[in-house]
Structure 1
């Protein structure tokens, strides 16, 4: 069906399906883990009839489904007859890698809950043989890092290269209201000259020209912004390369009304001008204005 992409994620236990799901969620896929195969046609039908609201689906189906899993091939054949297109992503890894991962997590293998891990792996390979033979994509995760695996998922399932760029959010805040808990990088600009002590500027925010002009006129501000821009320009490409999907840069001053707002706007404009997906938020402007 047009504009509808269905990916069945399956493969060996311990091969990295959880990591794949997180990567596909970052790509905008609606993901469901451990869905019984018999429910796939109905679920696909509901999504296809959503009017485009759900057009990309990733369903994890593996041997955790017990006897239900054995119906997967028949279900997929029936879906083909109904006109549904799908892809199968099969994840596997070497026995030694799977054993090591299970030992590190201290989990029991689902095919050998009371026996040796190696026995469970052997049984699972036998049981997955037919679905592996139908796979559209096979990824061996034995020697892959999390970042490398995510890169392969992006290459296979991103609609365009836009998804390879992370989203950057620049947040201004006031230290007296607490540091944003989700910040990846926190910068303190309380050393910059404070418009709060200028009566005509006190009730205006750093978004307004008169406040910005006041902050910018000081040499320390200009020197700081030059150094900060260089730091951000250096760091962001490395975060992108690492596979980070979102970066939150928090800029703080005392109240979150003047200096942090001004600096956040400047960084946002700079990043946007360089083509990054970025937005800016001013967390403490509203309730701060009512207090000054």
Structure 2
């Protein structure tokens, strides 16, 4: 049996679903993730079935997916905060004069504040990276909120770059400057709108397809490092910038490198969709 309903009725049903999900989500801070997930499932099952149509279940399922992804991004941010040494986002107390002056005098200063370099960063190489930034900058979205940019050794974090959302801080290991665009995409995800762009409905099909296509047998450590919406968004953003003319920049990997990496393989065949979605999000 197929049941039709007026637009106002559908709006009421969606509002009821959202209210139930919100009520359940209040306990997420006190419960484990699995317990919270079961609570959300029960909330959907307990909603009064005002219509027997399939669209009802789709609407509730979509709300639960969005809620789960919101929690994934929040857990990602908390782990970044918990796993970050203060040295990657706090001002250096001691810095030699040449390195202290190099950051504010570089092309990066037009977009980032503050800019800091570890004392053993090669200043000639840093100058070349600044020139590279000048060439890359017209291909990137405008930043509505400035981030701090610190060229710091990040080995203790087992990462070549770290974005700290609470401090709006990008740390780049000077030995691996190609991570800058990835970390910048995290910053744009979190600061361009009043919510994470990685949770926008137009990005959802890309996120779902990536998760379905990723070879999970190769995942090591925290799965959300690979599957959190903001991580998928940052990887897709790298490819978008590369295709816009960024290939060859020292501030992101080359197209040839992306083509051989397992964690970018799920994006193959989605190039047109990625470009369309990112063009629209940053229009």
Please state which structure has a larger fraction of its residues in helix.
2
TM-score in terms of structure 2 length: 0.24
TM-score in terms of structure 1 length: 0.24
Please state which structure has a larger fraction of its residues in strand.
1
Larger-gyration structure (1/2): 1
The answer to which structure, 1 or 2, has the higher relative contact order (CA under 8 A, 6+ apart) is 1
